[in-house]
Structure 1
Amino acid sequence: MLVHSSVSLSAYDGQRWVINPAAGPHLLVNAGGARLFTILQQATCIDQALRDFNQAFATSLTAAEFWQLVTSRFASYGILRAEASVDSGATHGKDYIKLRIPLLTAAGAGRLAAPFHILFAPRVFWGLLLGQSVLLAAVLGPAQLVPPQNAQEAFGVGAAVYGSLLLHEAGHIAACARLGLRHGGIGFGFYAYVFPVLFADITGIWQATKQQRVIGNLAGIFMQLLLATGLTTAYLLQPYAPLLLASTGIALTAVWQLNPFVRRDGYWLLSDLTNTPNLSEQAAQARQELLRGQQWTARRLVLGIYGLLNGLAFGALLLYLLFLHGPAMLELPAALPALLGELPARWPHLTHSQLVALGCYLVWLRVGVATLVQRKRKP
């Protein structure tokens, strides 16, 4: 066998397959790539693999040409037992969560999620999701919220909302474990280097069917809504305003995760529902085709419209931030040298507007650098 025994192949849709290494990124391949992997998996030596490949694809490659093809497709993914020292040009895909800090190991995350496995049987999951959504909409929709009356109530509401974020990630782990798929741990990082987020490593979900991936995508939202439902039920039994406030905050936080324009649950849900890996990149390309008036299929039209909406959403957010924090954004470039000279001592004293302005400039810098790099790579 020329590939590691721990590496497996699973169907993604009718035309594509996923190669699943024991560690590292998963690789999406077409029928040809899947056939090549199977040949390598079944062969006991490179000569046998070469003969099987030439017969299967009606080619006459030499051993050197064949191995160059193999490494150009699979090198650096942890698939091959002996990888040639070549520059394959392969990429592992973009990791949008940076500066990762592990909080729970895979074993720890698994223990945290273990009590919730039963909830992710499909009938249980969909029934509970529908029921709690109806209950929360009926109770929280017309509710009159009362602000916390003291520090103790404010702390309790905040603890419930932020604690639901850890429960959210545990839901992703539980769904993955319920399906018998490999999962990693839970950690903390920064989305696009700026926005702090919790994350769960469930890259093994690639091996699941579409329905299973959809459940995995919604698992975190499901767990937050479950907590909100529990707090709402407690409020109905014993009216206490902070319970209703915490439930509303958790529900709104969960619903926000459905936003398809940032790489959170809603984005991955849309990606899986449409069978479109690299959704953002595909949508950006389709948007350019749409604006240029090129011929498109119905699917490319939908992707192009999503790409347009994605750009409009980013523009609307920018205008909103300029409206709220415009003076701070205009003043920051001139004040930045002195500000940097005083950090980190002054960090706790930065105003909310200054932090927002700094975050915006960091995002713009990152987008500008990424655009320049992309243009430089184009032939």
Structure 2
Amino acid sequence: MGEFAGSGYRRPPRLVYRFDGQVIQLPDLLYETAKALERHQGEAVKSGNSRDLLDRVAQEVTRATGRTFSAEHVAFVLDRKLAPLGITTRSDGTLAGFTKAAHPFLGLRHRTAVVSEKGSWFLAGLFAWLFQPVLVLLIVSAFLAAEIWLFSTHNASYAMIAVMSDPSGVLVMLGLALASAAFHEIGHAAACRYGGVRPGGMGCGLYLVWPAFYTDVTNSYRLDRIGRLRTVLGGVYFNSLFILGLIALYLADPSPVVLAAIMLVNLEMLQQLLPTLRFDGYYIISDLVGIPDLFKYIGPILRRNILRRPPEERLKALKRWPQVVVTVWVLAVLPALALQLGLIAFRIPQMAVAAWNTAHRLFTDATASSTPVLSTAAACVQILFLLLSLAGILLMLWYLGNAVVQLIRKRFSRRADLAEVSRHGSP
């Protein structure tokens, strides 16, 4: 993939895209070896001479680094460094076992592709032209003007309350919100293609316990900072396009269902822009500072700023201003998230009782309705969202609690090892 453009590191890392979709950072020597191997591998397959391949790679790495390398050196790098990472085979062509990267903290799980890479490329091509700067300016301006007019002249909260008592209205509103979420993902793919790189597949997965759509835009790491930001913001940009379409529909037929759907999509956009969890807002900060994973800096920053320990190598590897931004992010977001989760944990019993009462009322109203089938379907959907919210909160608390327990165990284990060494001493 090349050098990470707009990187927040003092020494920009070189990125390699592994066959399973994992992006791996490599030092210069390993990157040049992998690059040379990829370039000459086709010739080696035709000739069937692996020794010739190693010689060619050694010559190219020598030219690239200014240091002398032989075929034996290249074989060592392949066998001991690159093959264990799953990037290449060993020098004899055999596969090495490698450990996959740990699942990102609070990341999307159990992903299933629904649209192939080819289909994603096709969908992206239908809408990529919408990212021309003049069009973006016009559409965003129209969106802001339409939003100001709509919410200053109409009571969206009243429309939402009215729709929640109408089973068919609930289903239509949720269907429109679901369509907006899907269009959001097309926005990411279209922005990726507009930048000149190929988006991956599109599908759905579980974020904690909530179903969520996703688009694989790993290739956006090939873009500069502006290109990556455009890819991230492409989702909410397409949400704004969807809202403009809903406003046009509302002007033609002023239905409270459409107005409630507009409000719900706006809430989706606000949620996506939150910088706490792995929503678009988090990736906006990540791309601004040029650091792919902010969560792994929480520990080093807390140890430096709270425990007053010397900065670790991981922090020293960052440029000055990314260090400042990430520190502000950690010290602002972490207490807010902890306070929010603490209040939620304290109110879980009340929330469970309220959810039970709401579910009971929904089923009672559904059975007494003149359209019991439709009312029951709407009640089931609303109850499912209630249960998912409770389950998501409990699962998030479990993840955070487990992370704290593991941190405490590691700390006490390290202290025990140090105590054991000091007790026995050295001969």
**Scaled by the length of structure 2, what TM-score is found?**
0.70
Distance 2:216 2:261 in 1: 27
The residue that corresponds to 2:339 in the other structure is 316
The residue that corresponds to 1:139 in the other structure is 150
1:45 match: secondary structure: helix
Q: Say whether the 8 Å CA contact 2:176–2:261 is kept in structure 1.
A: yes
Q: Say whether the 8 Å CA contact 1:73–1:90 is kept in structure 2.
A: no
Unaligned runs of 5+ in 2: 41-51, 312-319, 354-379, 415-427
Q: Say whether the 8 Å CA contact 2:116–2:201 is kept in structure 1.
A: yes
Displacement of 1:302 in angstroms is 2.6
Which of 243, 251, 262 is equivalent to 1:247?
Answer: 262
Higher relative contact order (CA 8 A, sep 6+): 2
> Residue type of the partner of 1:240?
S
Unaligned runs of 5+ in 1: 1-7, 331-346
The residue that corresponds to 1:20 in the other structure is 17
2:282 match: secondary structure: helix
1:260 match: secondary structure: coil
What are the superposed Cα offsets for residues 302-342 of structure 1, whole Å, 9 maximum, x if unpaired? 31221122222321321342354235779xxxxxxxxxxxx
Q: Which moved more, 1:32-41 or 1:118-127?
A: 32-41
Question: Taking structure 1 as reference, are residues 36 and 123 closer, same or farther at Cα in structure 2, changes over 3 Å only?
Answer: farther
The residue that corresponds to 1:115 in the other structure is 126
What are the superposed Cα offsets for residues 321-371 of structure 1, whole Å, 9 maximum, x if unpaired? 2354235779xxxxxxxxxxxxxxxx9998977655544443333334445
Q: Which moved more, 1:69-78 or 1:102-111?
A: 69-78
Q: 2:191 matched to 1:175?
A: yes
> Residue type of the partner of 1:155?
L
Which of 274, 298, 305 is equivalent to 1:259?
Answer: 274
Q: Say whether the 8 Å CA contact 1:259–1:266 is kept in structure 2.
A: yes
Q: Which moved more, 1:163-172 or 1:104-113?
A: 104-113
The residue that corresponds to 2:373 in the other structure is none
Q: Say whether the 8 Å CA contact 2:2–2:15 is kept in structure 1.
A: yes
The residue that corresponds to 1:94 in the other structure is 104
Displacement of 1:258 in angstroms is 0.8
Q: Is the helix fraction higher in 1 or 2?
A: 2
Q: Say whether the 8 Å CA contact 1:98–1:190 is kept in structure 2.
A: yes
Which of 191, 194, 200 is equivalent to 1:184?
Answer: 200
> Residue type of the partner of 2:178?
Y
The residue that corresponds to 1:195 in the other structure is 210
Displacement of 1:45 in angstroms is 1.9
Q: Say whether the 8 Å CA contact 1:10–1:17 is kept in structure 2.
A: yes
Displacement of 1:216 in angstroms is 0.7
The residue that corresponds to 2:2 in the other structure is 9
Distance 2:191 2:215 in 1: 11
Distance 1:125 1:68 in 2: 51
The residue that corresponds to 1:47 in the other structure is 55
Question: Taking structure 1 as reference, are residues 84 and 140 closer, same or farther at Cα in structure 2, changes over 3 Å only?
Answer: farther
Displacement of 1:222 in angstroms is 0.9
The residue that corresponds to 1:299 in the other structure is 322
Q: 2:82 matched to 1:74?
A: yes
Distance 1:196 1:302 in 2: 31
Distance 1:308 1:178 in 2: 35
Structure 2 counterparts to residues 316-335 of structure 1, below 5 A: 316-327=339-350
Question: Taking structure 1 as reference, are residues 230 and 25 closer, same or farther at Cα in structure 2, changes over 3 Å only?
Answer: same
Q: Say whether the 8 Å CA contact 1:100–1:188 is kept in structure 2.
A: yes
Distance 1:155 1:37 in 2: 52
> Residue type of the partner of 2:16?
I
Displacement of 1:175 in angstroms is 1.9
Q: 2:135 matched to 1:124?
A: yes
What are the superposed Cα offsets for residues 59-78 of structure 1, whole Å, 9 maximum, x if unpaired? 67776664443455533666
Q: Say whether the 8 Å CA contact 2:89–2:96 is kept in structure 1.
A: no
Larger Rg: 2
Question: Taking structure 1 as reference, are residues 60 and 372 closer, same or farther at Cα in structure 2, changes over 3 Å only?
Answer: farther
> Residue type of the partner of 1:364?
L
Question: Taking structure 1 as reference, are residues 16 and 131 closer, same or farther at Cα in structure 2, changes over 3 Å only?
Answer: farther
Q: Say whether the 8 Å CA contact 2:143–2:241 is kept in structure 1.
A: yes
Aligned-pair identity in percent equals 20
The residue that corresponds to 1:218 in the other structure is 233
Distance 1:72 1:135 in 2: 60
Question: Taking structure 1 as reference, are residues 135 and 28 closer, same or farther at Cα in structure 2, changes over 3 Å only?
Answer: farther
Question: Taking structure 1 as reference, are residues 162 and 41 closer, same or farther at Cα in structure 2, changes over 3 Å only?
Answer: closer
Q: Say whether the 8 Å CA contact 1:231–1:243 is kept in structure 2.
A: yes
Q: Say whether the 8 Å CA contact 1:235–1:244 is kept in structure 2.
A: yes
Distance 1:247 1:351 in 2: 22
Q: 2:166 matched to 1:166?
A: no
What are the superposed Cα offsets for residues 21-77 of structure 1, whole Å, 9 maximum, x if unpaired? 565222234545444444444566223434554676566777666444345553366
The residue that corresponds to 2:398 in the other structure is 365
Structure 2 counterparts to residues 51-66 of structure 1, below 5 A: 52-53=60-61, 57=65, 66=74
2:243 match: secondary structure: helix
Q: Say whether the 8 Å CA contact 1:221–1:255 is kept in structure 2.
A: no
Taking only aligned residues, the RMSD between alpha carbons, in angstroms, comes to 3.7
The residue that corresponds to 2:288 in the other structure is 273
